[in-house]
Structure 1
Amino acid sequence: MENEIRNRNEGRNRSDNSNRSDSSNRSDDSGMAMYWYWICNLPKITNSKIKRLLDCFGSPDEVFREDLKDLGKMGILKEEDIRRIEDSRRGWDLAQEYGEFCKLGMEFVHIGDDRYPERLRSLADRPYCLYVKGRLPEDIKPAVSIVGARACSEYGRRMAEEYGRELAASGVQIISGLARGIDGASHKGALLAGGSTFAVLGCGTDICYPEEHKRLYEDIPERGGIISEYPPGTMPLPYLFPARNRIISGLADIVLVIEAREKSGSLITADQALEQGHDVFALPGRVTDKLSCGCNRLIKQGAGIATSPADILAEFSLECKKNNENYIKTTNSLAKEENLVYSCLGLQPKNLDEILTEVKADIQQVLHVLLNLELKGYIEEISKNYYIIKR
């Protein structure tokens, strides 16, 4: 048995292709899918261990059938891992288990399936399977991952929504993680534009996390997909989220970071993008703002500077599709005093004292104008006496 395994390995090494053992049968054949579903659901058998098994036996159906006892002697797997696999083989009904999954209304896409994203195939640590609600990103269309702080500023949230909206309106697929803050805003922007967006989760695709994004979770499959490498029922445990970042970056051509602290998970995603050979862009911010420290550091290290969605679209030789009548209010109908107040506001929150200093008017008059602008939908009071324009 040991010599047989060695011969198999040597034969694979001579013919080389690191992808051969896991992509030699690219089809959506349900017979092979059952075996992929089994091997991807083995308890405590990580991707690296699955790779060792496939290097030895070539395909998951062979792993299911073959004698594994010599793998421990050869140092390929620990004895406890071999026992787990053997126990699973004895207790696992292939057709029944896969049939129960299919009843959930999700897609199971393994690396031997033609539907598996080409962008992920070349990754050294690619997932062997994906669970999908909706669909996967299209290989032939450009894709941008938008990531950033969960506890973002109102400015960051609006920028994420604007970039998601403008990029999606121009045909770019938006990838993110459905997290609070920047992630959720970028998904929302893409949906508002009627574009495609995809959420990569750190839990099972049957679990909405965080719960306040229930509406996004329900809407995204209509325009794109909810994606995870973790099987249904997997709870959103903290240690699962860093691993999903490689998929967020891997599914995209460009990663855009909008607000990130000095030590941020978004910077890990940016680092992974660079390792994967993708471009990284960052939204610049004030040097005194902690939420901009990470972005400014990325720019200092050579990341592209995103001053508008057009900067990203230029990388794909695309132009911004302007639908400003839907998103940006015209000021032609504003009275002179309303225009004066409106013109001093922006996407960065400004407090009442700053507004009074700029417009040099009576406080009661300014408050009256601010109220009128808010009622007309031009501005928003995001906290007590702090105002921003609405776009």
Structure 2
Amino acid sequence: MIYEYWYAGISGLNCMKKKKLREILKTAEMIYYIEEIKLTELGILTDREIQALIKAKKQQDIKEKWEMLEEKNIRFIPYFSEEYPVRLKNIPAPPYALYVRGRLPDSDRPAAALVGARNCTHYGERMALEYGEKLAENGISIISGMARGIDGAGQRGALNAGGMTYGILGCGVDICYPGEHRGLYQDLIKKGGVISEQSPGSPPLARYFPARNRIISGMADIVLVIEAKEKSGSLITADQALEQGKEVYALPGPVTSLLSQGCHRLIAQGAGILLSPEDLMETMGICLSKSRQNKSSEKKVLESPENMVYSCVGLFPKGLQELAQETKLAPEILMEELITLELQGFVKEISKNYYVKMR
């Protein structure tokens, strides 16, 4: 397997060339020992690619790097391994190899990719949490990029529900990026997995992320775009999903929001509309779990004027003046009710005197 690890890490050969050469020579060990003249006679690689392969043979630290994988509990899964995900084998240009901390998604379990803007709105974050939680609760694996904003919120929702979620990284799996997601990173390793095609130690370079996105969509059955600008990485993921024959769904939002324009564009082009997790699961042919049915039927009974204030607070921020106009309550009573609702976890003050609904 050490030869397979060496071969997977060669830069200068794309995944398809590596796969084709490996199919002809049968093992990476054969590739390592093949003479340059015979390699040229095969007619598969360009002169530059042949030189890249020859240069790779001169590496002196392959054994040490291989032992490092074991020390860090990183699994190496090449394309020809029985463990390699079936979903990925069916996409254009599948990764030649994967590095994994934790587990790979179960191929028998439905999977949804949940992606969106890093600098998301409270509305987008709340919806990502809800979709991640409800889908995971009903046995659907959540695939995402562990990025700030929508990705992280969706994966945190899945973890909150005790479900399975997997982070596809644009760096080595031994690197937590972004750094503030250290807790999420550790939870994913314990309750799902972190996966990358980049060798351990690879930094999060910009060029790795578009390639990473094809793995996110490739490991899922459907792709959900929660918030996205008209030009964004999330739309790259959606485009790749369509090329892979996957269905794409997008969350509608305010027409004035820049972070909803990408979603609206997808919907105009024929993407499915995300109305609710329940509606999506019905479309997927997945029955709602009994626990979720019971939770859905439970409604918090709030006393008036508490109920009046709660009904006026929405997913988009509202200030005290607007709430006072809608509820017709005196300022001191309004503040008292808002504080009570916040203590109960029903609303949240996201900036000075501006509130949003949390449930």
TM-score normalized with structure 1 length: 0.86
CA distance in 2, matches of 1:218, 1:134: 10
Amino acid of the structure 1 residue aligned with 2:354: Y
1:331 correspondence with 2:300: yes
1:100 correspondence with 2:68: yes
Partner of 1:19: none
CA distance in 1, matches of 2:232, 2:51: 39
- 1:299 counterpart (267, 277, 285): 267
Partner of 1:345: 313
1:361 correspondence with 2:299: no
Question: Counterparts in 2 of 1:253-272, with a 5 A limit?
Answer: 253-272=221-240
Secondary structure (helix, strand or coil) at the match of 1:259 reads coil
Secondary structure (helix, strand or coil) at the match of 1:69 reads helix
Q: String of CA shifts for 1:250-296, please: whole Å, max 9, x gaps.
A: 00000000011111110110111111011111111121211111111
CA distance in 2, matches of 1:74, 1:36: 20
Report the more deviating stretch, 313-322 or 212-221: 313-322
CA distance in 2, matches of 1:202, 1:366: 47
Q: String of CA shifts for 1:184-214, please: whole Å, max 9, x gaps.
A: 0011000000000000000000000001111
Structure 2: unaligned runs, 5 residues or longer: none
CA distance in 2, matches of 1:319, 1:74: 53
CA distance in 2, matches of 1:84, 1:98: 20
Question: Counterparts in 2 of 1:25-174, with a 5 A limit?
Answer: 33-54=1-22, 56-69=24-37, 71=39, 76-92=44-60, 96-174=64-142
Q: CA deviation at 1:73?
A: 7.4
Q: Do the aligned partners of 1:329 and 1:378 also contact (CA within 8 Å) in 2?
A: no
CA distance in 2, matches of 1:289, 1:329: 32
Secondary structure (helix, strand or coil) at the match of 1:336 reads coil
Q: String of CA shifts for 1:140-196, please: whole Å, max 9, x gaps.
A: 110000000000000100100000000000000000000000000011000000000
Name the CA shift for 1:203/1:328 in 2 (closer, same or farther; >3 Å).
farther
Partner of 1:7: none
Identity %: 47
Q: CA deviation at 1:92?
A: 4.7
Name the CA shift for 1:329/1:365 in 2 (closer, same or farther; >3 Å).
farther
Q: CA deviation at 1:41?
A: 1.0
Name the CA shift for 1:134/1:82 in 2 (closer, same or farther; >3 Å).
same
CA distance in 1, matches of 2:332, 2:236: 49
Partner of 2:165: 197
CA distance in 2, matches of 1:346, 1:139: 38
1:177 correspondence with 2:139: no
Q: String of CA shifts for 1:64-117, please: whole Å, max 9, x gaps.
A: 121233555776434343233223324457655423322221111111111110
CA distance in 2, matches of 1:339, 1:346: 13
CA distance in 1, matches of 2:299, 2:250: 29
Partner of 1:277: 245
Partner of 1:220: 188
Structure 1: unaligned runs, 5 residues or longer: 1-32
1:381 correspondence with 2:354: no
CA distance in 2, matches of 1:205, 1:124: 23
Amino acid of the structure 2 residue aligned with 1:79: D
Question: Counterparts in 2 of 1:18-29, with a 5 A limit?
Answer: none
Secondary structure (helix, strand or coil) at the match of 1:35 reads helix
CA distance in 1, matches of 2:212, 2:123: 26
Tell me which structure has the larger Cα radius of gyration.
1
Secondary structure (helix, strand or coil) at the match of 2:82 reads coil
Aligned-residue RMSD, C-alpha: 2.2
- The number of aligned residues is 358
Secondary structure (helix, strand or coil) at the match of 1:51 reads helix
